[in-house]
Structure 1
Amino acid sequence: MAQMIPLILAEEETSSSMARQRVFRDLNDPLDCYDDMELVRRFRFSRASISKITELIANYLNFAERSCVASPHLQVCVALQFFSSGTFQIICGDGINVSQASASRYIRDVSLCLQAIYHQFVSLPAGLKRVEVKNKFYEIAHFPGVVGLVDGTHIRIQRPSENEADYINRHFYHSINVQAICQPDGMFSDVLARFHGSVHDSRIWKNSGVGMHVENTFSIGEHILGDSGYIMRPYLLTPYRQPISTPQFNYNMHIRGQGLLLNRHLGDGNEDSTVFMESSG
């Protein structure tokens, strides 16, 4: 028996070492640490989707430096948790055991990486895809030629240290006014997030690259639909503010039927994420 004690102690030490390694690996990779349901609950994305996002931006992430021991999965998950919850960074970081400073760095780095690949996935439909989109919109509200729906949504931000008044929107809180163009399946074909909360939707459209693109490239009979906050153009159709005839009432009914679709998709963001606080309507 005495001869077996060293063997037992050695085996226990090996097991303890393996356990320590396992804990370290789990803490450094949420995909190892959480089951499928918990991943979706925390980060709003499935295991496969998190892996795909990480794969897409891995070459952009600066995780090879000795000073950054966090795995790409961890950096992506910290950012996704912040995007989906809107919580302060220290709360977000504590959820998966990283400091506020680290969480802030991961959110910044992942955001820049996503921005770098943005146009691979977010663009106005063209060719056969555009025909498909117009057909789907027509099935919804029997409105022909619709390529997308545009609206703004206010994203709440902390009180800025400079130019504070520029960020106060008509709901009297600090925000940025984000312009989004939506497809019938809920996918976004354009997002612009660089204007202060005090800027009106119509001004954002007028000064946006996508607005100029639509004006210069859309064929006759193709258009984006917007609400009455936009100025009506051949390529940007909006409801009549004061309809006076049956055709105008019918037109408004169809265009607002499409508008409900956009409000629902922006509303999905509002319900799932406190980052998206309130649609500007």
Structure 2
Amino acid sequence: MPWQTERQQASDTLFKAFLVQLVVEADVALSSAAGDDEDDLYDLEALSDDESDDDDEPPLASQTILETLAGIHINHYHSEREPIHKSHSHLHLLFYDWKFNSPEIFRSYLRMTPACFDKLVESISSHPVFHNASSNLQMPVDQQLAIALFRFGHYGNAASTVKVALWAGVGFGTVQLVTYRVMTACCDESFRRSALSFPDDTTKAEAKQWIEDTSCYAWRNGWLMVDGTLIPLYARPGFYGNTWYDRKSNYSMNVQIINTPSLCIVDYCVGLPGSQHDATAWEETRMFQEHGSLLQDDEWIWADSAYPLRDWCQSPYKK
């Protein structure tokens, strides 16, 4: 079951009590209207005595519960907030020093080169999620992307909202928000098609030549490779959690990657649970579904023994 805050637990309990009390009061009101004895269940003189003064009527229990429920949600924070000192020094060093003078440090933080980072910023900057009509402008897209990439590049406690927020010098909620925006932009189909394109003839010829040089001429037409990898999740997902439990005893996500020998990614598939077998997971890729129009009759993809044997998908481990 998904984790709930104390506020949500109290809210759910009061809401259920409110519904139950409404049913009880409605039942008593119907009984009173039918001439039943008013003292059989509750003393609800306020419901039956139309001549009494409204100011003297005690509030109904349902009304009291509803007011208590409203009181829970009237304030965003229930406990007293203490300021936490934060600084943007890490982001400043990242963008104005390490990016130009120490690219290896930049890469260690964001898991990509400065050139690749700039290209990614350019690709997602025009997405509507980074633009709004509010007078409060969003953070620059490059800073939002950097926070999300820093979070993606860490695991366990280092990837927690608190640690990432303190590193970037932003609010805890901002970390969640920028992560959502970046993922929304990167999962958009328009980004997928703009970021990935099938290799041209020159790239294909270079890949075939590499295969021939490292193996033999007969294998040169197998110029693409496919494999799956498991991306560990920080915790068990709240919905259908067991389906994400993989063979390595982790909760993970199955990611399929099709690439050239130069590690240029041609196609990918993300979002499938870790329990999904590679043979069925890769059926969701464009390469599997459109291989007839992407590959020539004498070309194929290299795969391991987890993938089904086809004329266009060969495994060196199968006879």
Change (3 A) 1:200 1:96: same
Q: Which moved more, 1:171-180 or 1:199-208?
A: 199-208
Aligned-pair distance for 1:82? 1.8
Aligned ranges 1:87-102 → 2 under 5 Å: 87-102=159-174
Change (3 A) 1:92 1:172: same
Residue of structure 2 equivalent to 1:200:
277
Q: Tell me, yes or no, if the aligned pair for 1:63 and 1:72 is still in contact at 8 Å.
A: no
For 1:73 and 1:30, locate their aligned partners in 2 and report how far apart those are by CA, in whole Å. 14
For 1:46 and 1:239, locate their aligned partners in 2 and report how far apart those are by CA, in whole Å. 34
Q: 1:147 aligns with which of 208, 214, 223?
A: 223
Residue of structure 1 equivalent to 2:109:
42
Q: Tell me, yes or no, if the aligned pair for 1:25 and 1:32 is still in contact at 8 Å.
A: no
Aligned-pair distance for 1:240? 4.0
TM-score by length of 1: 0.68
For 2:244 and 2:205, locate their aligned partners in 1 and report how far apart those are by CA, in whole Å. 39
- In structure 1, runs of 5+ residues without a counterpart are 1-22, 244-281
Residue of structure 2 equivalent to 1:239:
316
Residue of structure 2 equivalent to 1:260:
none
- Aligned partner of 1:53: which letter? L
Q: Is structure 2 residue 210 aligned with structure 1 residue 136?
A: yes
Change (3 A) 1:111 1:159: same
For 2:113 and 2:169, locate their aligned partners in 1 and report how far apart those are by CA, in whole Å. 20
Aligned-pair distance for 1:73? 2.2
Aligned-pair distance for 1:48? 4.5
Q: Is structure 2 residue 265 aligned with structure 1 residue 191?
A: no
Q: Tell me, yes or no, if the aligned pair for 1:28 and 1:70 is still in contact at 8 Å.
A: no
Task: Please identify the structure whose Cα radius of gyration is greater.
Answer: 2
Residue of structure 2 equivalent to 1:103:
175
Q: Tell me, yes or no, if the aligned pair for 1:39 and 1:46 is still in contact at 8 Å.
A: yes
For 2:92 and 2:135, locate their aligned partners in 1 and report how far apart those are by CA, in whole Å. 17
Q: Tell me, yes or no, if the aligned pair for 1:30 and 1:77 is still in contact at 8 Å.
A: no
For 2:96 and 2:89, locate their aligned partners in 1 and report how far apart those are by CA, in whole Å. 5
Helix, strand or coil at the partner of 1:176: strand
For 1:174 and 1:93, locate their aligned partners in 2 and report how far apart those are by CA, in whole Å. 25
Report the number of matched residues: 220
CA RMSD of aligned residues (A): 2.7
Q: Tell me, yes or no, if the aligned pair for 2:110 and 2:153 is still in contact at 8 Å.
A: yes
- Aligned partner of 1:113: which letter? A
Change (3 A) 1:63 1:31: farther
Change (3 A) 1:25 1:194: closer
